[in-house]
Chain A
Amino acid sequence: MEMLYAITTGVLSASGLYLMLRGRTFPVVVGLTLLSYAVNLFLFSMGGLTSNAAAIIDGPGSYGDPLPQALVLTAIVIGFAMTAFAVILAMRARGDMGNDHVDGRKAEEREDRR
């Protein structure tokens, strides 16, 4: 299980990073979202991966670490708000600058540089 979990987190963050380095705002926003998913998974695993453990302490026996769950919950809320903001910002930038490049450059200028 650990291996699968680690690979999932790694692939998610790698794809997130790759997309964040793209030139247009939409892939960048998607990349940020993927990265925040990877973060949430990573945080969750930091309390140690236990299976068949109680989520809430219920008498003796093993139980899952509750703190990472609280952290993930906070991180999800904040990540969601930030993604929403980034989407609005990207739309505003598209509207004001006439294109969706992160540097606000025009398509012709990009052609020239090639």
Chain B
Amino acid sequence: MLMSHLIVLPIVLPLATAVVLLLSRLGGARFKRALSLVATLALLLISFLLLREADSGTVQYYALGDWQPPFGIVMVLDRLSALMVLVTALLAVGCVVFACGGDDEKGSNFHGLFHLQLMGINGAFLTGDLFNLFVFFEVLLLASYALLLHGGGKSRIQSAVHYAVLNLAGSALFLFAVGMLYGATGTLNMADMAAAVSQLDPERSGLVVAGALLLLVVFGLKAAILPLYFWLPRAYAAAPPPVAALFAVMTKIGVYAILRVYLLIFGEDAGPLEALEQPWVWWLGLATLAIAGIGVLASRDLRMLVAYLVLVSVGTLLAGVGMRSPAAVSALLFYLVHTTLVTGGLFLLAEMIGLQRGKAGTRLVKGRAPGMGTALLFLIGAITVAGLPPLSGAIGKVLLLAAAEGAQRLWLWPLLLATGLCALIALARAGSTLFWRGQESDDNDSRQSCWQWAGVCWLLAASPLMVVLAGPLTQYTDAAAVQLSEPSVMIEALLTPKEDAS
């Protein structure tokens, strides 16, 4: 009974939890923390089950209200969406654990909003309907506006104004694009739209191209591609740390949406419209990578540095999407898991370092030196995020470099390696300023709660774990990439009427 409803649980569970948590009269802070933690762990369990389910290779769907596709709204589970839901759950556990160390008490309703955001994120990953994707984007954005403001402060308000206005404009563009695609194809279900695009009347292809590229602008805004990324560094640097860490997955939603929509709808059956996003994503991804490398070098604040590292990862992922081969998709999925968890961990770590340094905060100036434990964690985080050999960043990068073919190598190899070097220089400089140029102080009043340690360790532990489990993980991402490269599998799974439907 429960198993058949498993696909919709990652949306229903956070919603129910959020509703209970938002009833502010119910229980105290301890009750809320416990409930939030339990719900997030349950989400982790569910996403593991979903991953196992998806690994069987069949595309499954859950028809809400039993309205069969293409007429009803469906939630679709394939290897890609199961992986993304799992990454979100892993990240969320780290964030909630960290927030229990005191950040959740700096404003009201942290946990409730956090679960609403999880609902939006999971929904965006699972939905098989273009308009529903819009709705879940709005859910996660509305929660993220409020979370960004958690705790208050001038820099947060200011960056939230930019973030909210930009994303509202993005939502309007999304609706324009959806409207155009609906007008041209007559459907909103992504699989059905893919089938419709493959038999498109050439007269209407202009409308579809316009809609598809408008959609790319929206996804580019979410993913923070070059001309649309300016909101990101300030917003991420200003956000409260557990929220910034969760935001590490927000840019990946844009990347996921690009993968999903363009590989499915404009895949190999789309005829003249096949891969219409490819040149844009490839060149702008590379440009994002270059700019982000410069940004990393120029940051004078540890949080800003990590925010630009998020941008580096976006550029890398988009270049991977732009290569448009199963090998590249597999490599980028591996890199995506690594970068989401590690940059999330680094945001949390930056907060701990800032707390230990007292007045100097996270600015890269001389100040009180943080303790040994944070230094060790910083070393691990820096090595893995810069992509140095023993840890997972290196594997992801090597996979991506190996996936490049022909002329792509000429561009990708120097750029990716140069930004890696930029990140290395910036992190080494930041590390030596933070840990070696500090004054020793006797009054070590900066006791950190063990929750914060646990949250950071949980996320950074992902990196060595991914090295140990690299074999099974790459097998899985390979299979996911192959599944994505065959849109017909998904179309058949969704549009063939079920005969034994009860």
Contact = CB atoms under 8 A, between A and B. Distances in A.
Contact of B154 (A16, A75, A96): A96
B117 to A, nearest CB: 15
Contacts of B157: 89, 92-93, 96-97, 104
A78 B158 contact: no
Interface residues of A, number: 34
A82 B183 CA distance: 25
Contacts of A81: 142
Given A36-B172, A78-B138, A42 B154 contact: no
Given A39-B175, A43-B175, A74-B135, A82 B142 contact: yes
Interface string B141-159: 0100100010010100110
B390 interface: no
B138 A82 contact: yes
B179 interface: yes
Given A46-B180, A82-B168, A89 B161 contact: yes
B502 to A, nearest CB: 27
B260 to A, nearest CB: 20
Contacts of A71: 131, 175, 178-179, 182
B425 interface: no
Contact of A42 (B152, B164, B179): B179
B368 to A, nearest CB: 29
Contacts of A28: 165
Nearest to A82: B168
B169 interface: yes
B145 A89 contact: yes
B300 interface: no
B27 to A, nearest CB: 27
Nearest to A48: B183
A42 B176 contact: yes
* Chain B interface, >50% SS class: helix
A85 B138 CA distance: 12
Interface size band for B: 20 to 34
Given A20-B169, A104-B154, A39 B176 contact: yes
Nearest to B153: A96
A89 B169 contact: no
A35 B145 contact: no
Contacts, number: 83
Contacts of B171: 78, 82
A86 B172 contact: no
A6 interface: no
Nearest to A32: B168
* Chain A interface, >50% SS class: helix
A92 to B, nearest CB: 6
A93 B157 CA distance: 6
Contacts of B180: 46
Given A74-B135, A81-B142, A86-B168, A93 B179 contact: no
Contacts of A45: 179
B349 interface: no
A39 B138 CA distance: 15
Interface in A37-73: 38-39, 42-43, 45-48, 67-68, 71
A78 B135 contact: yes
A104 B149 CA distance: 15
Nearest to B207: A46
A88 to B, nearest CB: 10
A82 B134 CA distance: 14
A107 interface: no
B363 interface: no
B49 to A, nearest CB: 31
Nearest to B175: A39
Contact of A32 (B131, B154, B169, B183): B169
Contacts of A93: 157-158, 161
Nearest to B152: A96
B179 A90 contact: no
B162 A102 contact: yes
Contact of B175 (A20, A75, A104): A75
Contact of A46 (B158, B168, B169, B179): B179
Interface string B109-147: 000000000000000000000010001001000100100
24 contacts: A20-B165, A20-B169, A32-B168, A36-B172, A39-B175, A42-B176, A46-B179, A46-B183, A47-B183, A67-B188, A71-B175, A82-B142, A82-B171, A85-B164, A86-B168, A89-B164, A90-B161, A92-B149, A92-B157, A96-B154, A96-B157, A97-B158, A102-B161, A104-B154
Given A39-B175, A74-B131, A74-B135, 14 more contacts: A16-B172, A25-B161, A35-B169, A39-B176, A46-B183, A82-B138, A85-B142, A86-B164, A89-B157, A90-B161, A92-B149, A93-B157, A93-B161, A97-B154
Interface of B: 131, 135, 138, 142, 145, 149, 152, 154, 157-158, 160-162, 164-165, 168-169, 171-172, 175-176, 178-180, 182-183, 188
A-B CB proximity, top 5 nearest:
A46-B183, A46-B179, A104-B158, A39-B175, A43-B179
